[in-house]
Amino acid sequence: MDFNLSKEEQLIQKTAREFAQKVIDPAAAEIDKTNLMPSSIMEGLSELGIFGIPLPEEYGGGGAGYLSYILALEQLSRACSGVGMIISVNVVGLSVINAFGTPEQKEKYLPPGIKGTEILSFAFTEPGTGSDPKQLTTTVRKDGDHFIINGTKRFISNAGYKGPMIIIAREEESGKASAFIIDKFCPGYSLSEPWDKIGAHGGALYDVYLNNVRIPAVNLLGESGHGLWALKIAMVYGKIGLTGLFLGSCLAAWEEALSYARSKTHRGEAIAAKFQHIQTALADIAMKYDAAKWYAYHLGFAADHYKDPMQLVKEAALTKVYVAETAIDIARIAMGVHGSYGVMRDYKIARLWGDVILGPQVEGTAPLLKILAAGIILNH
Ligand SMILES: Cc1cc2nc3c(=O)[nH]c(=O)nc-3n(C[C@H](O)[C@H](O)[C@H](O)COP(=O)(O)OP(=O)(O)OC[C@H]3O[C@@H](n4cnc5c(N)ncnc54)[C@H](O)[C@@H]3O)c2cc1C
């Protein structure tokens, strides 16, 4: 076993950290307040090639694999979860098109998404369900050499950016779910106001209204009736991204606790040096961060080297659950280190609470992911 990062992985990690420190950190409090992502951050990410780290080089991607992707997301999300959310969902869309797209679809959609001049979305969730594909109500019907899509998609990330959106919809005739690519802001596409979610600000969520959206038949993604395969792949890559994102929250909470404990004094002495329970809190955080980090990095390695796809599905589900729940644990301990300052929104640790608390709900709730993993453990 080799736990060392390669030179390339170290460089990606360092580049992401430096960008986060220089460009994202100074803007993070404002992003949290306004829920808006400055275009300078999007442009900077594009220049660094962050949007396409794991995607193939032939389409302009970094070809650097999913471990590098997690390393970068950790550092960027340490500064701002919203940045991690935008990148993660974009990579979901790119990875699904890369897995199922025709050569023409890849040629058309991958290069701009990898460059970040277009930002992809993936739309499964609806007002009725975010967990059960059988309850999908968005419909699609054939109309000559076109499809017509109608329905409402809920909580959709990146829906306000131009670019492609992958829609999972039910075929009216067969009742089967299929995947389609639409261009956001096409005729029939409209958005709600952004949801007022409690964390991951800057990564706005919208409801998407699809009213007789007409797309050419060539925009079917993968085979007709195979929409749930697209969903499965999306969920795996989504969990890899969210693992990197919430590992970044673990790191942020760890750094906040350490720096606060070193700088806050009690009768002239730093609380880190003076109080043993502060020291055990820091040790607890260090232990939890290390466990989450190695679990997360292993998922990146597994995604780059997997042989059995079902094992990757299981590992992605459990790692995401573990890292997201650990982020809550670490943030809670770190808030305790801050005392009452920990619940003041002027302090980063308080803002982080809003980020971490949503972790177990996104991309499949934690209980459902455990049920999914248990099914694979018992049946494979
Ligand atoms: C920040 C953020 C970003 C998101 N981005 C996107 C996006 O880009 N695209 C997208 O499609 N969605 C997105 N979502 C939606 C998200 O993925 C879903 O909300 C999530 O999967 C849970 O679905 P739900 O809220 O409808 O819960 P439900 O499915 O309604 O579940 C409600 C409760 O019932 C439980 N439950 C449901 N079914 C079962 C079952 N069969 N057995 C046992 N328990 C069950 C769940 O565990 C949960 O506790 C996003 C959500 C957030 C918060």
Question: Domain extents for the chain?
Answer: 7-115, 121-225, 228-379
pLDDT of residue 365: 93
- Residue 357 φ/ψ, nearest 5 degrees: -70, -20
DSSP 126: B
Catalytically active residues are 363
Give the CATH architecture of domain 121-225: Beta Barrel (2.40)
Question: Looking at residue 202, what is its pLDDT?
Answer: 97
CB-CB contact of 100 with 222 (8 Å)? yes
Tell me what the pLDDT averaged over the chain comes to: 96
Check: CATH 1.20.1090.10 for 228-379?
Answer: no
Helix, strand, coil proportions of the chain in percent (round to 5)?
A: 60, 15, 25
- Measured CA to CA, the distance from residue 180 to residue 124 in angstroms comes to 11
pLDDT greater than 90 at residue 137: yes
For ligand 1, the distance from its centroid to the CA atom of residue 222, given in whole angstroms, is 24
Q: How confident is the model at residue 132 (pLDDT cuts 50, 70, 90)?
A: confident
Residues with a CB atom less than 6 Å from ligand 1? 89, 121-125, 129-132, 155-157, 197, 200, 205, 358, 361-365, 367-368
> C-alpha 82: how far from its chain's center?
9
* CATH among 2.40.10.480, 1.10.540.10, 3.20.20.70, 1.20.1540.10 for 7-115: 1.10.540.10
User: Which residue is associated with the tokens 């690519």?
Assistant: 181
Q: Distance between CA atoms of 330 and 262, rounded to whole angstroms? A: 17
pLDDT at 75: 98
Closest CA to 188 of 205, 171, 209, 158: 209
User: What SS3 class is residue 33?
Assistant: helix
pLDDT the model gives residue 134: 87
Which residues does residue 218 pair with via DSSP β-bridges, in sequence order?
Answer: none
- Give the pLDDT band (50/70/90) at residue 31: very high
- pTM of model > 0.75: yes
